[in-house]
Amino acid sequence: MTIAQTTVAKNRGVLGQLSLLDRFLPLWIFAAMALGVTLGAAAPGVKDLFNALSIGTVSLPIAIGLLWMMYPVLAKVKYEELGKVAKAWQQFGVSLTLNWIIGPIIMFILAWVFLPDLPHYRTGLIITGLARCIAMVLIWNMLAGGDSEYCAVLVALNSVFQIVMYSPLAYFYLRIAPGWLGAEGTVVSISMGEIARSVLIFLGFPLAGGIITRFTMIRRRGQEWYETKFMPRLGPTALVGLLFTIVVMFSMQGDRILAQPWDVVRVALPLVAYFLLMFAVSFAISLWRRFPYELATTQSFTAASNNFELAIAVAVGTFGISSPEALATVIGPLIEVPVLVGLVYVALWFRRAFFLRP
């Protein structure tokens, strides 16, 4: 089979390479949303129950769901690959710029362009743009034929880097940058300490748990057992935490969604624009720097994806489970999954168009 034939076969089989859970992730998310809205409308007392089971703005049931959906993802990250970053310092520098400078700027601009009159949803989008992908990007990168080892390094680095960068960037884009646009009165009052607390709880704790689990289990049972036996069982349970979180959140948000469905559409539009722009900008930079296809693909999917689990956790922990900020973040995975699947096909087309020329 020629290279071109292999590429075409791979292109046709993208969805077939996804697991049943991943292939229909948008369907599961949509079903969880519908269940939550129905539950909230049919049983109004549910909202009072979740409000009662709270400490401050954090609902205990939702905290359990958030922590569980983060833990399996972080237990999968290959932290042992971090030492290899020195061998790819140029590519890492590009990735760092895309993820922590260009990405947040683009989301900030899109949020203000698309939602100038909806400051709470705008805040939710900005929170989403600051959460760099550490999970699903491994799947998109694999399907598109990217460099798996380099992707693992970037995922591990982003996992650690978010602990340091997320809080100061959130403070800058939510409190300082809006003032330059003369919109101080529309910015939600939020302290850096509140964001830092949410990041510490919902990223720091599961990150520590994931690191401890990975190195402890690998030392006891070996890496092959961990990757082929343990993680295939633990990994899919993250979806349970995500779906449970969505059901609870939408049971609290049901009345707002039914009253203002157009708001959901308005939040979805800048998200689609963001994913497409980040992917295009990243691939353009990779072509300019003459990176091989495997590295260009990894760079692009890492830049275009977001850690919606962390975004949801920060929004819920900072603003509350029934806040419009939280609703904006939960729309993220519903939009991201189908768009990124489509971009896998785009990447494979880029490979034929720009990298397989004679």
Say how far apart CA 186 and CA 208 lie, in whole Å. 36
From the first residue on, what is the mean pLDDT of each consecutive set of 10 residues in the chain (358 residues)?
A: 44 60 75 85 75 66 79 81 66 87 95 92 92 74 79 76 83 85 54 65 81 93 92 85 81 74 91 96 92 91 86 80 84 83 89 76
Burial of 161 (0-12, 13-18, 19+ CB in 10 A): middle
Whether the CB-CB separation of 310 and 163 falls below 8 Å is answered with: no
pLDDT of residue 88: 65
25: left (phi > 0), else alpha (psi -120 to 50), else beta?
Answer: alpha
Say how far apart CA 235 and CA 71 lie, in whole Å. 9
pLDDT of residue 277: 96
Q: What's the chain's length in residues?
A: 358
Whether the CB-CB separation of 306 and 133 falls below 8 Å is answered with: yes
Kindly state the tokens that stand for 150.
């380099």
pLDDT of residue 280: 95
Element holding 220 (H helix, E strand): helix 205-221
pLDDT of residue 5: 44
Residue that the structure tokens 């720091």 belong to: 204
Instruction: Report all structural domains of the chain as residue ranges with CATH numbers, in order of start.
Output: 20-349 (1.20.1530.20)
